[in-house]
Amino acid sequence: DAGVTQSPTHLIKTRGQHVTLRCSPISGHKSVSWYQQVLGQGPQFIFQYYEKEERGRGNFPDRFSARQFPNYSSELNVNALLLGDSALYLCASSLSPDRQGVLGYTFGSGTRLTVV
Amino acid sequence: SQKIEQNSEALNIQEGKTATLTCNYTNYSPAYLQWYRQDPGRGPVFLLLIRENEKEKRKERLKVTFDTTLKQSLFHITASQPADSATYLCALDITNTGNQFYFGTGTSLTVIP
């Protein structure tokens, strides 16, 4: 059974550009969360989606947006990229928010975004 | 402000010894706390969860304690092995709804053969 799949694995963008990152959760998982991890820091919560609805939002600017599709896959969009957006973007899936507390997240390997 | 803090210094221990990692938090009353392992270039891997009414949880060579009065969790790896070398992260659900998990900064552990 496939784990959490993220694409692309690496990406280089120029300041001011837009980027779309994609995530496919584990089969049967309906909740997807996005995290940003800057080198040397822990993951920072960006969004959580469950059943296509936003269930949680972290302290990130409106340049960050996301959505979840009927097949439970998800996209994270970042507009007007800044140098400080360079990070590893992690997608995590779980059966549901309440089951996340029991079983934990399953993370993908992430997308390494570099903004130049 | 709300914070989750872990040992800021990297931890180096000799193989076979017990590694102890600390997670301290402020301004939260979490129903449970999770521990993850992260290897370089990879996503975190879920290890253990401990609930607020549990003082201690064990899984093979891993042991976690949770003191809600001190607002602290300790993570122990007994009989450590070089393969245990990684960064270890603690995580809390600050809303207790499963919707918003916040991670600590992580502690880098190196087990020396």
The domain tally of chain A equals: 1
Instruction: Decide if pLDDT at B47 tops 80.
Output: yes
Residue A41 is part of a domain; what is its CATH number?
2.60.40.10
Q: Which of B43, B93, B99 sits opposite A109 (nearest CB)?
A: B43
Query: What digits encode the pLDDT tens for the residues A16-41?
Result: 999 999 999 999 899 999 999 999 89
Q: Which domain holds residue A61?
A: 5-109
The answer to whether the Cβ–Cβ distance between A33 and B89 falls below 8 Å is: no
| Whether residue A100 has pLDDT greater than 80 | no
* Residue B2 clears pLDDT 70, i.e. is over it: no
CA of B9: which chain A residue's CA is closest? A40
> Between the CA of residue B71 and those of A59, A109, B57, B91, B92, what are the distances in Å?
23, 31, 16, 13, 11
Q: How far is A80 from chain B (nearest CA, A)?
A: 25
Cβ <8 Å between A100 and B49: no
Flag whether A114 is in a domain: no
| Core vs surface per residue B3-35: b (16+ CB within 10 A) or e | ebebbeeebebeeeeebbbebbbeebebbbbbb
Which residue of chain A is at minimal alpha-carbon distance from B100? A56
- The verdict on residue A116 lying in a domain is no
Is A76 within a domain?
A: yes
- Chain A environment of B100 (Cβ under 8 Å): 45, 48, 56, 58
Q: pLDDT at residue A2 above 80?
A: no
What fold is seen in the domain B3-108?
Immunoglobulin-like (2.60.40)
